Each structure stands twice: as C-alpha cells, then as structure tokens.
Amino acid sequence: MMDLPLEGITVLEFSQYLSGPSAGLRLADLGARVIKIERPEEGEAGRKLSIKNLWVDDSSLLFHTINRNKESFAADLKNPDDLALVKKLMTKADVLIHNFRPGVMQKMGLDYASVQQLNPRLVYAEITGYGTRGPWKEKPGQDLLLQSITGLAFTTGNRANGPVPFGIAIADILCGSQLVQGILGGLIRRQKRGVGALVEISLMESLLDFQFELLTTYYNSHQQPKRSDTNSGHTLLGAPYGVYKTADGFLALAMMDLPALAETIACEGLSAFCNEQAFAERDRIKSILSGHLLQQPTQYWLSRLQQRGLWAMEVFDWAQMTSHESYRALQMEQPLKAEGKKIITTRCPIRFNGARLFSDRPAPKVGEHTEKLIQEMNKLEQVKI
C-alpha cells in the first residue's frame, strides 16, 4: 500500500456543497482521514444538489463525486450531547474545515478562539463568500454570484456579448484548492512550532487572485480590458489568440508570429500585418482569419501549423477527448461502487513518487461511521484510565 503524505492526519469537515468538500476530497486523496460532520438523517445540503437530475441512492451524483473516500459522523450541533461528542473529536483532530457564513460556528461555540482552547494544535480552516468583514459579509456565497460581482464574467466571450460566466463552479473549486494550500502551510508551521493556525479564505478573494493578470493591468492603467470583437480568447493578448470555426469544426490558435502564420496557411490578407500590429489591429486580423479558416477542415490547417511549429490545437468535445490516446494515457477515470451502482468520476490529478492516486471508497451514507467513531473515542478514554 502506498505511503501517502497525509496518513495519520485527521480532518473534521463541517462543510456543504462544493468549496469545503472539494478541499476535504483533496486531503483525503493525499491520505488524510476526513470525517464529515453532518446533520442526522438529511446530512449536508450538498446531498440534494443534483446536476441533470442524476442520483445514487438518496444522494446526488455530484455529492458522490466530491465526497468519496470520507467518513460521516451524524450530529445535531444544537443538541448538547451531540455537541459534546463533536468536541471530543476535535481534541484528537489535526484539521477542521468549514464553509459556513460568518458567525454560524461562533453561535455553536465552535469558532477558532473556542476550539483553540480544546486543541491548540488544530489547524482551523474556514471559507466564506466575501470575508468576515465589510458590507457584503452576509451575502450568499454562491459561485455564479461571485463570478458576477468580481468582474470575471466580463472576461469571457466577444465584446458584443453580455457577461459570460464560466460553465463550471470555478470559484468553489479554486477556493477549495487554495484552502488546501493554506492547510498544508498550517500543518508545516505546526510541525515547526508546535501550534495550530487559523487559515481563512473567501470565494471572492480566490476569484480576484484568479484574475491577477487582468487586475494588475487595471490597477496600473485604470482602464477596463476590452475583449475582442470576434474570436475572443484573452483580453490582454493580440491576434491570432482565440478559437476559430473551420469547414468541419473548430481550431484554437495561441500566440504566434503573424508573418509565419500568414505564410503557413497561405492567407494573403494576413500578410499585410506585422507582429507590432497584433493587438492594435486585433479585430481586423481576426476577421480576416475567420473567413480564411472556413475554407478547409480542421486537420488540413492543423497539419500545416504543427509542422511549422506554430501553437495550434483542434477543439474537442468530451466524446472526442475521452477517445483520444493522450487522454487514455493519463488514466484520469476513477471507478466507484455505491449501493451496487458503478460511478465513474475523475481521480486526484496529483502523482506521488510516480504513482497515480486512486481511491475506490464511495461517499458515505449519513452517519455511516458515527458508532464506529464513538467506540474509538471510548477506547481512547479507557486507555487513559
């Protein structure tokens, strides 16, 4: 069995939906024991968050994909007896994660200052929507709302389009990933100094950091970056950067020498432009390219561009991507079995000492490990006596 880097680390996850659970998932993939603290019977709210109405037993497929390899401890945190049990778990835990609104954990006496009294070595990690201060701190921390309020939706699509959000929950996933970075930093600090840490991040801060290129430009120029009129790919990059329709599909063109491109695809109209005009004349150049690339299929252009060493790639849908040899070589698919039903999801993308990290443990049922964990705590108490 692989010696994973976080074996021996126990994580208590007071989280719901995507951001907190995605952080817990990555820690579990790296070897940590992750215990979800859930409400009895109904569990965390993410169990009912369904995409395309896909379900496994009484929980959504989405819940199963982001909560595999975890345990579940059912507790009513308003019940003094249950709360006492949870606090016992905290005394032995290494990490606590929550993504509740500011003040929620404090009302239950589970804020950092209170929990630190129980376990000074605990790394306490929390996600909020907009931070713990300021007029927006109580607003709902939902992904689409964050993409909108941070200006991210104005970075995608052509200039004539309205705001275009990402087609995935980018704020949740980024924030969960960055929280893991903070947690690992807290664990290293604890190893060096013997004390825990409070690790804080918000969805808003994650999306602002995600836009560091654009925001740095804005901070220094005080001008809003403008998207291309057509074939937009990056607001700060000149032509030909973007995606173009061909006779039978689509072609992505990255940064490249304009004269070399013009020669390679035999585009007479493009030969009138030099590299210094790539940004100033971005829309004219892209319009010329758009018309020219429609004349031949994707592979016709791709073979010429790649032979010349120019950065280009076909645009795949998922069926095309998953059938490609390069995709299959990565072995990214992770099979699970839940209630007798086979689920395929993605594995952890990290390789450790050359080995890919797979885990076939499905997401737990609500409270599936409650009794087991209580027995473990009782045994520890008996050993002390």
Residue with tokens 């849908």: 317
Phi-psi category of residue 242: left, alpha or beta, with phi > 0 → left and psi -120 to 50 → alpha: left
For 26, which DSSP code? H
DSSP 3-state of 71: strand
CA distances from 210 to 146, 147, 152, 178 (A): 12, 11, 9, 11
Q: Is beta strand 355-356 parallel, antiparallel or unpaired with respect to 351-352?
A: antiparallel
Q: Is beta strand 250-253 parallel, antiparallel or unpaired with respect to 242-245?
A: antiparallel
Which residues touch 58 (CB under 8 Å, ≥6 apart)?
A: 47
Half-sphere exposure of 90 (CA within 13 A, CB side): 25
CA–CA distance, 90 with 103 (Å, rounded to integer) = 19
Set 111, 172, 248, 257: catalytic member: 172
- The b/e string for 87-105 (b: 16+ C-beta within 10 A; e otherwise) is ebbbeebbbbbbbbebeeb
Phi-psi category of residue 292: left, alpha or beta, with phi > 0 → left and psi -120 to 50 → alpha: alpha
CA–CA distance, 109 with 259 (Å, rounded to integer) = 66
CA–CA distance, 58 with 253 (Å, rounded to integer) = 45
For 301, phi then psi, to 5°, come to: -70, -40
CA–CA distance, 56 with 259 (Å, rounded to integer) = 55
CA–CA distance, 165 with 150 (Å, rounded to integer) = 11
**Does the active-site annotation cover 172?**
yes
Provide the annotated active-site residues. Answer: 172
